Structure 1
Amino acid sequence: MGFWIFMLVMDLLIPVTMVFIGKRFQKKPPKEINGIYGYRTAMSMKNKETWEYAHHCCGKLWYVSGLVMLLPTVIALVCVFGKGNDCVGTIGGIVCMAQCIPMVGAIALTERELKKRFDRNGRVRRD
């Protein structure tokens, strides 16, 4: 039971973090472009406009993905309630790996949106 609770809490960390950071990035991205905190890629750090747009896009993706992952995460762990630690650990690990897909996938989608909206110098496209 204790290991099951531990795995449930650990598996909820990724979606809950994505929900809170996603909402924060949407509403209040880091004020200054920096190399420590925020969505940091070469394209997002071109200028203030790319920085804010990248945070808005990534924040929206993380927020929605985090919300969508909450229920399946709980369902997956409820299905192994009362099972052995090996089973709980395996399912918990699979859930965690599956959660990493949308978390990391948001980077590719955000970069695609940045390239649609801005040229390689960070200027808004006029086409």
Structure 2
Amino acid sequence: MMLGFGIMFEKNPPKNINGVYGYRTSMSMKNQDIWNFAHQYCGKVWRTWGLMILIVSIFFTIISYFLGEAVQGIICSGLVVVQTIILIVSIIPVEKALKRTFDKNGKKYN
């Protein structure tokens, strides 16, 4: 999911600020410039992190296949938890980049 949306956001972010779809935080929704920047930056983060998560997930899924159903369930559940945590933590670098690039009123630093 992160890899797919990362590529999509980086190349073709949602055109308009909306409360339904996209990277939606109070800072990212202040104006269109911030919205566009947030999606490009978030897209890069999600693309990179998503590829790493995909590789790790495939590795552990293949290993769990040989360890039996009980272990498969534990490993797959663990992967879902880790993937969700990484998705949530990805907000941190995006928000830091927004704060480095824009002031609290939404104006871009020179």
- Fold agreement, TM-score > 0.5: yes
Equivalence for 2:53: 69
TM-score norm. by structure 1 comes to 0.82
Letter in 2 for 1:34: N
Aligned with residue 37 of structure 2, among 43, 47, 53: 53
How far 1:96 sits from its partner (Å)?
Answer: 1.3
- Computing the radius of gyration from Cα coordinates, the structure with the larger value is 1
Equivalence for 1:82: 66
Q: 1:45-66: CA deviations, max 9, x gaps?
A: 1111000000011111001111
Q: Distance in 1 between matches of 2:73 and 2:108?
A: 47
User: 5+ residue gaps in structure 1?
Assistant: 1-16
Aligned with residue 108 of structure 1, among 86, 92, 99: 92
Higher mean C-alpha displacement, 21-30 vs 73-82? 73-82
TM-score norm. by structure 2 comes to 0.93
Q: Distance in 2 between matches of 1:23 and 1:81?
A: 29
> Which consecutive segments of 4 or more residues in structure 1 shift more than 4 A?
none
Aligned with residue 121 of structure 1, among 80, 105, 110: 105
In the alignment, structure 1 residue 24 sits paired with structure 2 residue 8: yes
Q: Tell me, what secondary structure is at the counterpart of 1:21? A: helix
**Equivalent pairs, count:** 110
Q: Distance in 2 between matches of 1:32 and 1:74?
A: 35
Q: 1:31-78: CA deviations, max 9, x gaps?
A: 110101111111001111000000011111001111111121111111
Equivalence for 1:43: 27
Identity across the alignment (%): 39
When the two chains are superposed, the root-mean-square deviation of aligned CA atoms in Å is 1.1
